[in-house]
Amino acid sequence: MTRHLITSAIPYINGIKHLGNLVGSQLPADLYARFQRARGNEVMFLCATDEHGTPAELAASKAGKPVAEYCAEMHDVQAKIADGFRLSFDHFGRSSSPQNHALTQHFAGQLNKAGLIREVSEKQMYSPADSRYLPDRYIEGTCPNCGFESARGDQCDNCTKQLDPTDLLNPRSVISGSTALEERETKHLYLCQSQMRGQLQDWIDSKTDWPVLTTSIAKKWLNDGDGLQDRGITRDLDWGIPVKDGEADWPGMEGKVFYVWFDAPIEYIACASEWAEANGKTEADWQSWWRTDLGADDVRYTQFMGKDNVPFHTLSFPATILGSGEDWKLVDYIKSFNYLNYDGGQFSTSRGRGVFMDQALELLPADYWRWWLLSHAPESSDAEFTWENFQTSVNKDLADVLGNFVSRITKFCRSKFGEEVPAGGSHGPQEQALIAELTTRIRAYEGFMEAMEVRKSAQELRAIWVAGNEYLQSAAPWSTFKTDPEQAAAQVRLGLNLIRLYGVLSAPFIPDAAASLLAAMQTEDDTWPDDIAAALSALPAGHGFTVPEVLFAKISDEEREDWQNRFAGTRD
């Protein structure tokens, strides 16, 4: 049995995330985690809030709260929303945890021993109006690469080019808006990524099964221009992990903290340590997931993220792991996603554009959103959320196909046979043909899920639902009942067993609805089907059931129009 270590890119603490963030990392990671658990594999699914750096300080300042208090409150908010979307994390941690402090400082010490950290005197923007140095995200300006006028000092959101604050044209302070900025000298630590270029190149080249999106971005950053550059890992900020060489003070680095992109990926590892402490586990328990010298040889590690996070996870974080010289687990597979746009524009947390996770849950239950987002996941190219498409998908896929099947078969059985699985009859050619089709489709579904092909998995699952509807329409037990009640009983019995099977197969996508199906069939048997014929006989004659409430309500034109008007691209 393979053990699956799964991590989702950790969301920034600065506010509630939008649907584009959700589908780009956490939601497909949850889909994969649920599927692997359903197949009987052991899973460790980890995520956390990314709490350091400029975004946290700016958001806390805007909220009028101390940054530590703000982060604690927003972690609870994000955890609650994640639960609302049924994200099945084994632990949802915090990058500000004591575990991440200790581990980040440990890695810095190991990298320093290996000669992979150097001290650099550099010019940095200073704002006399704010009486402070301005780290990357405290500065905005025009991107020198694409001309985007609101590029940040670390990266351009428009073209994704990595930047330094001094690269920006017409820079201004995010705090005060002042353009009277000065360059002053300060000292920082740099991770010598350039020394590891060959090792990283060989590692990336060995990942022949990675998505094209992942490898193309990694190789672009590795080879374009001057190639892989050394990168600063410290900042002049108050909030963050203090710069230490292991447990010792780092001379000359007093008052500085580690750069958020150095400590944030390390939180993936620290999160497992947090999990151990929260659940009464030992250090050996969590290290068996992360240390190849302590039992992690049988672990397959998969990361999920949006394309903007790929460079740090294919280069900077692996440089940290490899450079430490210790036996830490490296990622085996990186599933990356393009962007989900919103109704002709872009989602943007900082600019308040699009539907945000809390708003989505106020409108409809999580399964509606999970289904649409996963079935339209931006895998091969950017995708776009429109209210018309959302309405169509919910109504046709969830209400007309799955919901309609469940309603018709349970209500017909109740009217003719009562609320228990009827006895009599046997499988004929139609039933055998359905079993053969389902066997083929379920094996294909499993293959797509294993390969993390999210859209194809959704398409195959929908086809499995459609097969049940087509059988029901063709077999027409309501007509059969008039001439051959026993055969009608066999058809209904198969249909009721299909409901249980749909509950099992659909759980990774729509867990609440799947649980409702199993509850209606009065069973806790969620065994993944190896033998489809056997699975379609799991509920024997005489087994009781109930007719469930409407599984999915249709979205009306009036509701759609109202939501289009309410969410026209801004957030109050």
First to last CA, the chain: 49
* Cα distances (angstroms) measured from residue 142 to each of 13, 129, 163, 166: 25, 21, 11, 11
User: Which ranges of 156-237 does DSSP label H, i.e. alpha helix?
Assistant: 197-205, 212-223
Does 71 carry a binding-site annotation? no
Closest-CA residue to 27 (of 518, 343, 399, 368): 368
Provide the angle, in degrees to the nearest 10, between the axes of the packed helices 212-223 and 197-205: 160
8 Å CB contact between 434 and 453: no
Q: Please provide the size of the chain in residues.
A: 572
Q: What is the DSSP string of 379-392?
A: SSS-EEE-HHHHHH
Number of helices (H) and strands (E) in the chain: give both, helices first: 22, 19
Q: What is the DSSP string of 107-152?
A: HHHHHHHTT-EEEEEEEEEEETTTTEE--GGGEEEE-TTT--TTEE
8 Å CB contact between 366 and 31: no
What residues contact residue 98 under an 8 Å CB cut-off, 6+ apart? Answer: none
CA–CA distance, 512 with 365 (Å, rounded to integer): 9
Is the C-alpha dihedral spanning 350, 351, 356, 359 positive or negative? positive
Does 271 carry a binding-site annotation? no
Query: Per DSSP, what are the bridge partners of residue 3?
Result: 42, 299
| E strand or H helix that includes residue 232 | strand 231-232
Q: Structure tokens of 367?
A: 């399964």
495-534 burial string, b = 16+ CB within 10 Å, else e? Answer: bbbbbbbbbbbbbbbbbebbebbbebbebeeeeebeebee
Does 47 carry a binding-site annotation? no
Does 159 carry a binding-site annotation? yes
Q: Quick check: helix, strand or coil at residue 168?
A: coil
Query: Per DSSP, what are the bridge partners of residue 403?
Result: none
Angle at 529 between CA 527 and CA 534, to 5 degrees: 105
CA–CA distance, 256 with 122 (Å, rounded to integer): 15
Does 302 carry a binding-site annotation? no
Residue 118: phi and psi, rounded to 5, are: -130, 150
For residue 235, how many other CB atoms are within 10 A of its CB?
26
Angle at 339 between CA 377 and CA 87, to 5 degrees: 55
269-279 burial string, b = 16+ CB within 10 Å, else e? Answer: bbbbbbbbeee
Tell me the binding residues for Zn(2+): 143, 146, 156, 159
Tell me the binding residues: 143, 146, 156, 159, 349
Tell me the binding residues for ATP: 349
